[in-house]
Amino acid sequence: MPNNMTQGSITKALLLFSLPLIASGLLQQLYGWVDAFVVGNVVGEDAIAAIGATHAVWHFYVMAITGFTSGVSILSARYCGSRQDQKQKLVLFTFLVVVGLVIFVTTLFTILFAEPALRLLKTPSNIFEMSEEYLRIVMLGIPCLAVYNVYSGVLRGIGDSSAPLYSIMVSAVSNVALDIYFVAILGYGVKGAALATFISQAAMMVFIVIYTFIRYPLLRFGITSFDLDILADGSRLALPITIQSMVTAAGNLVLQNFMNTFGSVTVAAITTAYRVDSVIVLPIVNLGTGIATIVSQNKGAGEKEREKECLRIGIKMMVIISVILMIIILSFAGKIVAIFGITEEAIMIGKGFFRGLAPFYIVFSLIMALRGFLEGEGDVIFSGINGIITLIIRIILSYALCPFFGNMVIAYAEGLSWLFQLALFIWRYRSKRDIIMAN
C-alpha cells in the first residue's frame, strides 16, 4: 500500500523517507568510485582522466532523466495525498512510453556520434581513444536508467523510498564484482569498467520492474493505460525541471571543455574531487527530495500548515548536516581523493578544490530546502529558470576569475554561483508565499 505522509510526525516522516534515498545515492555513486578506484590502481591516471572526460556527456542524459522523473514523482505524490490511487498505474505506463522512446533515439544518436562529441569537448589526445571506447559502451545503459528512474519516481511519490535502495544494492554488488573481473582479472581496462556499469544498470532495471509488479498490484498496467491527460499534467511539472537539468548538463559540457584546457592531471583531479563531492552532498540533495515529496502529498491532501512545517524542519536539519559535512571533507579531503590512485600533484589539486567549495555547503543546503518546498508546491518553472540563471553565472565566473584562481576557479565559481541562486530562491519564497499557500 502507498505510504501516506499527511499525518504524524514530519521529522520522523522526513527521516524515514530520506534515509533510504541517501543510502541509494551512496550505492549509486559507488559506480563511479569503484570504476575510478579499480581503473586508477590497475590501469593508471590516464584511464581515470579518460572516464572523467566522458562524464559531462553521460551526465547530460542522467540529468535529463532524473529531472523529468522528479516531476513525475511530484505528480504521483499529489495523487497519493488526494487518495487517487487508481491513477498511479496510468502515470507509470504513460511516462515509461514517452521517456523510453525519447531516450532510446537520443542514446543511439550519441553512440553513433561519440567521436565528434568528444572532439568538440577538446578531450586531450593522450586519452581520446579510451574516452571514446568508454562512452560508446556506457551509453548502452542509459535506456535502463530511464526505465529505472520512471519506476523509482512513481514509487517515491507513493512514499516507497526503499525500493530504489534494494534495486541499487543489486546493481552496486554487480558493479563491484564485474569491475574486478573485467578490469583487474581480464585486463579490459576502461572497456571493462564500461561493461560492468552497463550490465549492473540492466540488473537494477530488471529488479525494480519485478519488485513493483509483485509488491504493488495497483501499478500493474496494460496497453490501455496510456493517458493523454496524465501526460499533460505530468509534463507541466516535469518539463521545467527537465529543461533546467538539460541546460545545466549542457553547461557542464561547456565547463568540461574549459576544464580540459588545463590538461589531463587537472581533469583527473577535478573529476575525482567531484566524485567525492557528489557523495558528500547526498544527504542534502535527498532531504530536498524528501521535502518535495512530503509537501506535494500534503498539498494534495490540503494540509497547508504541514507544508510550511515541513520546510521549517527541513531547513534546520539541512543546516546541521551541511556543517558536519563541511568539517569532514575539509579534514580528510586529501586522504579520500588519494585512494583513487591519482598522483601527488592531482591530490593537491583535489584538496584545493574542497578548500574552495566546502565552505559553501551551508548555502547549498538552504537552496535544496527551498527548492524542494517550491517544487513540491508545483512552482517548478521558477526553479528551472533559477537553475539556468545560476549556470550562466557559474560559466561567466569560471572564465572571468580564471586569471586569479587558475584551475581552482571551478570550485570558487560554483560556490559563488550558489549565493546568487539562494538569493533568488529566498526572493521567490517571500514574494509568492501567500499565493502558493492559498492555492
What would the pLDDT profile of 290-304 be if each residue is shown by its tens digit?
898 888 888 877 778
pLDDT (0 to 100) of residue 206:
95
Question: Looking at the predicted structure, is the pLDDT value of residue 434 above 80?
Answer: no
- In which band, very low, low, confident or very high, does the pLDDT at 45 lie, cut at 50, 70 and 90? confident
pTM score: 0.76
Q: Which residue in this structure is represented by grid cell 504493488?
A: 216
- In which band, very low, low, confident or very high, does the pLDDT at 32 lie, cut at 50, 70 and 90? low
| Side chain identity at residue 323, one-letter code | V
Q: Which residues of 13-26 are buried (b: 16+ CB within 10 A; e: fewer)?
A: bbebbbbbbbbbbb
Write out pLDDT tens, residues 374-400.
Answer: 988 888 888 888 988 988 998 899 899
Question: Looking at the predicted structure, is the pLDDT value of residue 27 above 90?
Answer: no
Rounded average pLDDT over 84-91: 81
Write out pLDDT tens, residues 217-229.
Answer: 888 887 777 888 8
pLDDT (0 to 100) of residue 66:
80
Q: Which one has a higher pLDDT value, 194 or 239?
A: 194
**351 contacts 334 by C-beta, under 8 angstroms:** yes
Write out pLDDT tens, residues 246-268.
Answer: 776 677 667 767 777 787 788 77
Of 74-78, 170-174, 432-436, highest mean pLDDT: 170-174
Rounded average pLDDT over 324-335: 92
Distance between CA atoms of residues 25 and 164, nearest Å: 9
Distance between CA atoms of residues 80 and 263, nearest Å: 50
DSSP conformational letter for 113? T
> What are the extents of the domains in the chain?
10-438
pLDDT (0 to 100) of residue 322:
95
DSSP conformational letter for 6? S
Distance between CA atoms of residues 235 and 378, nearest Å: 12
Cα first-last separation, the chain = 28
Q: How many CB atoms lie within 10 A of CB 163?
A: 22
DSSP conformational letter for 8? S
Distance between CA atoms of residues 420 and 310, nearest Å: 24
Distance between CA atoms of residues 39 and 193, nearest Å: 7
Q: Is 159 helix (H, G, I), strand (E, B) or coil?
A: coil
Q: What is the mean pLDDT of the chain?
A: 85
Question: Looking at the predicted structure, is the pLDDT value of residue 319 above 90?
Answer: yes
- In which band, very low, low, confident or very high, does the pLDDT at 4 lie, cut at 50, 70 and 90? low
pLDDT (0 to 100) of residue 61:
82
**77 contacts 296 by C-beta, under 8 angstroms:** yes
- In which band, very low, low, confident or very high, does the pLDDT at 326 lie, cut at 50, 70 and 90? very high
- Show the DSSP H helices in 180-281 as ranges: 190-215, 228-260, 264-280
Distance between CA atoms of residues 401 and 408, nearest Å: 10
Rounded average pLDDT over 163-187: 89
Question: Looking at the predicted structure, is the pLDDT value of residue 3 above 60?
Answer: no
Distance between CA atoms of residues 14 and 317, nearest Å: 10
Cell of 283: 544527504
Question: Looking at the predicted structure, is the pLDDT value of residue 426 above 90?
Answer: yes
